[in-house]
Structure 1
Amino acid sequence: MKYVRLGSSGLKVSPLALGCMSYGEPQLGMHPWSLPEKESLPFIAQALELGINFFDTANIYSLGSSEEFLGRAVRKLTRREDVVIATKVYEKMHDGPLAGGLSRSAIMREVDASLRRLGTDYIDLYIIHRWDYDTPVEETMEALHDVVKAGKVRYLGASSMHTWQFVKAQYTADLHGWTRFVSMQNHYNLINREEEREMLPYCRAEGVAVTPWSPLARGRLTRPWDERSPRTASDPIQERFYGPTEASDREVAGVVAEIAKERGIPMAQVALAWVLQRPAVVAPVIGATRPHHLTDAAAALDVVLEEEELNRLEAPYVPHSVVEYV
């Protein structure tokens, strides 16, 4: 495994991050397809064996149990200083007027709660999960700066917002001498390329690492289009993201299948190799609920697509409507 810098920071990460949304108590939160702890542990162990040192979770995943699973796995399998743990803040963890958001109150409360669940005294990368329209950006950025200066967080990241919002947050940090974001975790794959318009060029110009989520379009680019998994049946987000453009998306997936057949490799390797070759992309966040998901992802690091193949993959794409990430 060759490790890379997370944008312009000094942090070294594997070029793949293991997303831990799939690991958590199934009866908690909104992910009934998530794996309980005993079934989750082998995937974290397999990732470490492959050289993956970058693990991504969030406070909201299975209402905190994902953080708990990851924290216990790290303590059992490796040394804390050898891994990079990313977690997120924004979503409501309970009912009530103070729940959720990016207020100073919420950030201070939730960073401590995440530290307790992870069983660690610092978070490597603390990510704001969404943009908070109800809190002044100055309040958010100062609170984030304070948790960095307190030693609870090493680096800051952001996720899924409009480019103007991300620029405003970075400008606010610069204006006051506060900590900037070093990464952007956005929705980006072969059937959703809208981030190529503004966000990716901005991140590349500013040295911000891009760590896309759903690089395989929630599995739609890994198998025949009409084949469905248990997650597909219980994941309403899939229809919101991909339903309106199914005809063109199906064409893209068809080309992925053609190239995979020509090369004699799984579709997942082709689709992930395309993401890995995109400018500004540092470490896609991959999900794994079967052992071959991780071995395919690691193998994709060695797949270099030719220009002709890239052109074929990109040709069927049609613009998608903007999806508000709320």
Structure 2
Amino acid sequence: MRYRLLGRKSGLRVSEFALGVALFGTGWGYGSEHADARRVFDRYLEAGGNFFDTADGYQFGQSESMLGELIAPVRDDIVVATKYSGGASKDPTLAKTGNSRKNLVYSVEQSLQRLKTDRIDLLWVHHSDNVTPTEEILRGLDDLVRAGKILYAGFSNFPAWRIARADLLAELRGWSPLVGVQFEYSLIERSADRELMPMAEALGLAAAVWSPLGGGLLTGKYRNGEQGRLQGMGRVIRTEKTERDAAVVDAVIDAGVQLGKSPAEVALAWLGAKARKSTTSIITIIGPRTVEQLDNNFLALDLALPQDLVDRLDQVSQIAPGVPFEVNAETLPRMLGGRPHLVDLPAFKVA
């Protein structure tokens, strides 16, 4: 396992694969019992992993509690990230959900108890409630950093414009900076290429990407009649809804056959290729339920896809840029004085 800085605004070193532990526990009716979770935890540590990602709501708090039982012997050697917004209760209430300072403080105190630790290394604001002012969220996070309850903060599943505004507000007001963003990203889901990924690159924010296998779709297992999360959870899942989806899965399976590798290895190795070209840190959050799945994920770390194969996967999975990017692409030659072939542009571009 190799390590990366968590973006350009921190010196925190994290492993290239983060272990998402949403499936630690059985509160959702699907997940891992304690013994299986321990095997996954131990195997991840053996491979050099040091970055654990959970949330207060995962398995209705069981994920944090189970992780808290496992991390005690290695607490100072690992990075623990959790999230707040939706609460841990099966029956949410107005007082214990949302992005308000009140819920922020309450949620962090509850997470600290479940994790059996005195600080959270990285706290993500899990989802936007669409009403709490950004200033309130940022000031609340800054207070918790100053109090030592959390060390770093980031936004998860927020629109790019809100993250960019929050990043600037924190800088201007001297509040603790955002160090990263978290969003879904894979060969099957590339919407983040429009705004989120370019924003992370431009602002130096780490991009922690979840569901890199499209909820299992990119493994090809659903074509073989396997169910996994599709049956066990009925959510956080993608199916072949369009011709593009089918073409992407076909391409991943074909690439695996060509290389003698599994489709999962190919899909994760494609993300690895993206990370190596990025000007910021892209951290892949894997979420295996079993040690066998984890070991298969690890195989991708040693797989360097040929460039022609990366290009092929890029092409089959690409999405329409949309407005205003398509218009800008058409006018760019003129913006370069009508001589784009004579201009040496930097690899980094401001979208």
TM-score, L = length of structure 2: 0.85
Q: 1:19 and 2:20 equivalent?
A: yes
1:45 to 17, 42, 47: 42
Deviation (angstroms), 1:242: 4.5
1:136 to 133, 139, 151: 133
Structure 2 residue matching 1:21: 3-state secondary structure: coil
Structure 1 residue matching 2:282: 3-state secondary structure: coil
Deviation (angstroms), 1:235: 3.4
Question: What is aligned with 2:32?
Answer: 35
Question: What is aligned with 2:337?
Answer: none
Over 3 Å counting, the alpha-carbon distance change for 1:308 and 1:320 in structure 2 is same
Contact 2:156/2:181 (8 A) holds in 1 = yes
* Amino acid corresponding to residue 126 of structure 1 in structure 2: L
1:70 to 60, 67, 71: 67
Structure 2 residue matching 1:301: 3-state secondary structure: helix
1:61-140 correspondence to structure 2 within 5 Å = 61-75=58-72, 78-94=73-89, 95-140=92-137
Contact 2:99/2:132 (8 A) holds in 1 = yes
Deviation (angstroms), 1:213: 0.3
Question: What is aligned with 2:340?
Answer: none
Structure 2 residue matching 1:237: 3-state secondary structure: coil
Over 3 Å counting, the alpha-carbon distance change for 1:161 and 1:23 in structure 2 is same
Identity %: 34
* Amino acid corresponding to residue 80 of structure 2 in structure 1: I
Runs of 5+ consecutive residues of structure 2 not aligned to the other structure: 323-351
Contact 1:33/1:230 (8 A) holds in 2 = no
Deviation (angstroms), 1:164: 0.6
Q: Measure the CA separation in 2 of the matches of 1:202 and 1:62.
A: 31
* Amino acid corresponding to residue 5 of structure 1 in structure 2: L
2:233 to 220, 232, 235: 235
Deviations 1:53-91 (A, max 9, x none): 10000000011110010111112xx42110000000001
* Amino acid corresponding to residue 194 of structure 1 in structure 2: S
Contact 2:190/2:318 (8 A) holds in 1 = no
Over 3 Å counting, the alpha-carbon distance change for 1:310 and 1:12 in structure 2 is same
1:188 to 185, 188, 194: 185
Structure 2 residue matching 1:4: 3-state secondary structure: strand
Structure 1 residue matching 2:80: 3-state secondary structure: strand
Question: What is aligned with 2:287?
Answer: 287
Q: Measure the CA separation in 2 of the matches of 1:79 and 1:308.
A: 42
Runs of 5+ consecutive residues of structure 1 not aligned to the other structure: none
Contact 2:99/2:129 (8 A) holds in 1 = yes
Question: What is aligned with 1:312?
Answer: 312
Contact 2:4/2:16 (8 A) holds in 1 = yes
Contact 1:157/1:183 (8 A) holds in 2 = yes
Structure 2 residue matching 1:17: 3-state secondary structure: strand
1:164-313 correspondence to structure 2 within 5 Å = 164-227=161-224, 228-238=226-236, 242=239, 244-245=241-242, 247-278=243-274, 279=278, 280-313=280-313
Question: What is aligned with 2:326?
Answer: none
Q: Measure the CA separation in 2 of the matches of 1:20 and 1:321.
A: 33
Question: What is aligned with 2:344?
Answer: none
Structure 2 residue matching 1:316: 3-state secondary structure: helix
Q: Measure the CA separation in 1 of the matches of 2:4 and 2:58.
A: 27
* Amino acid corresponding to residue 63 of structure 1 in structure 2: F
Deviations 1:14-41 (A, max 9, x none): 10000000111x2x3xx32111222211
Q: Measure the CA separation in 2 of the matches of 1:315 and 1:268.
A: 18
RMSD of Structure 2 on Structure 1 (CA): 1.9
Contact 1:225/1:253 (8 A) holds in 2 = no
Contact 1:221/1:256 (8 A) holds in 2 = yes
Q: Measure the CA separation in 2 of the matches of 1:50 and 1:131.
A: 34
Q: Measure the CA separation in 1 of the matches of 2:38 and 2:165.
A: 39
Question: What is aligned with 1:4?
Answer: 4
1:155 to 149, 152, 157: 152
Deviation (angstroms), 1:314: 2.4
Contact 1:248/1:318 (8 A) holds in 2 = no
Q: Measure the CA separation in 1 of the matches of 2:112 and 2:272.
A: 31
Deviation (angstroms), 1:172: 2.0
Contact 2:56/2:87 (8 A) holds in 1 = no
Deviation (angstroms), 1:154: 0.8
Q: Measure the CA separation in 1 of the matches of 2:317 and 2:222.
A: 16
Q: Measure the CA separation in 2 of the matches of 1:221 and 1:281.
A: 23
Contact 1:212/1:281 (8 A) holds in 2 = no
